[in-house]
Amino acid sequence: MAAERFPVEAGHVMTFARAVGDPNPIYADTEHAAASELGAVIAPPTFAIASAQFDPDYPLRPTPGQEWYGSGGGPGLTRDGAGGLHAEQHFIYHRPLRVGDVLSVHTRSGEPWEKSGRSGRLLFTEQITEFRDQDGELVVTMRSVGVQREAAS
């Protein structure tokens, strides 16, 4: 469940930088970027997470013809397995992502673990995602940790 091919596109980088409230011209202005030491428009540090846009099966996006659990006429649906939250996020940068890069994405699951919290057992899962560029070089390594509370028995 990941994008196989993640093209780093100018409009996507610009709207992502706007969404995190970052007006830095290095993310949008081609002339400014060309004159900088980087020489090209780059993506903000957390941009790799937006590879979800290119994941055909990303579950947190409505798909035409399939049931979506958000509100419409009614308030929405309780979803199986819902209630998980994002616990940690880590990035290792081998170089900045540049507009024009076409990345390949490989995700694997790490070993799950458990912790006893005040209100019950917490279940942690992690996913490690590697982004490689058009030359096969590793560009970004991303680790995401999710946590879910085990239903009290």
Partner 1 sequence: MGLRATDLTVGQQFETVVVDDLKRTQIVQYAGASGDFNPLHSDEVYAREIAGYPGVFAHGMLTMGMTARALTDLLGDGRLLRFGVRFTAQVWPGDTLTVRTTVDGVSDEDGVPVVELSVVTTNQDGTDVVSGYAAARLDA
Residues engaged in binding partner 1 (CB under 8 A): 12, 15-16, 18-22, 24, 26, 36-38, 42, 44-46, 49-50, 52-53, 55, 58, 60-62, 69-71, 75-78, 82-83, 85-93, 95-96, 143
Nearest-approach distance from CB 76 to partner 1, in angstroms: 4
Q: Which one, 58 or 125, has the nearer CB to partner 1?
A: 58
Q: How many CB atoms lie within 10 A of CB 21?
A: 6
Nearest-approach distance from CB 42 to partner 1, in angstroms: 5
Q: Which residues pair with 85 in a beta bridge?
A: 147
Nearest-approach distance from CB 135 to partner 1, in angstroms: 18
Nearest-approach distance from CB 84 to partner 1, in angstroms: 10
Alpha carbons 63 and 99: distance in angstroms, whole number: 27
Q: Which one, 36 or 125, has the nearer CB to partner 1?
A: 36
Q: Which one, 87 or 104, has the nearer CB to partner 1?
A: 87
Alpha carbons 41 and 65: distance in angstroms, whole number: 37
Q: Let me know: does 46 contact 143? Beta carbons within 8 Å.
A: no
Q: Which of 19, 4, 29, 2 is nearest to 99 (CA)?
A: 29
Nearest-approach distance from CB 121 to partner 1, in angstroms: 19
> CB-hemisphere CA count at 13 Å for 49?
15
Q: Which one, 49 or 121, has the nearer CB to partner 1?
A: 49
Q: How many CB atoms lie within 10 A of CB 76?
A: 10
Q: Which one, 98 or 121, has the nearer CB to partner 1?
A: 98
Give me the residue label for tokens 């919290």: 117
